[in-house]
Amino acid sequence: MPLSEHEQRLLEQMERALYAEDPKFATSLRSASIARASRGKAVLGVLVTFGGIGLLVTAMALQVTAVGIVGFAVMLMGAVLVYSAFKTPVVVIDPDAGNAGNTGSATKPNAPKTSFMDRVEDRWRKRQGDE
């Protein structure tokens, strides 16, 4: 389901705000190293799956049940590797992560904790009220 124009504008504003607040973090989210790691993990998973299938075929030819069980387990591990390679990574944005030496709420116990999304929503409400 495609995003509406309003949602696309809001997403672009959030992206610009993220780049403005922490450009180093924002560019690290778009790095190609994650894609390369996922691709390598998928290839490894496919190879492990084929190895498991080979063990299963060998077990059937030799009629050895133990080798068949091991082959099935190896094949299952390969399938899990492939599945985890295509699973989208979850990125947790910590608003205190950009502050050097800050250990979270221990240094500022009375400071209000506002998330990135809260600040973007406040800005959006202000813009809607001004128009």
Q: pLDDT by residue (tens digit) across 63-111?
A: 989 999 999 999 999 999 888 887 755 554 444 444 444 444 444 455 5
Q: How far apart are CA 131 and CA 126, in angstroms?
A: 9
pLDDT at 24: 75
pLDDT at 128: 80
Q: How far apart are CA 67 and CA 18, in angstroms?
A: 53
pLDDT at 101: 44
pLDDT at 72: 94
Contact residues for 26 (Cβ-Cβ < 8 A; gap 6+): 15, 18, 19
Q: pLDDT by residue (tens digit) across 5-64?
A: 888 888 888 888 877 887 777 666 665 555 666 788 888 999 999 999 999 999 999 998
The residue with tokens 């994650």 is 34
pLDDT at 31: 58
pTM beyond 0.95: the answer is no
pLDDT at 59: 93
Instruction: Decide if pLDDT at 1 tops 80.
Output: no
Contact residues for 9 (Cβ-Cβ < 8 A; gap 6+): none
Token digits for 95?
Answer: 């608003």
Q: 120 phi and psi, to 5 degrees?
A: -65, -40
Q: How far apart are CA 24 and CA 97, in angstroms?
A: 12
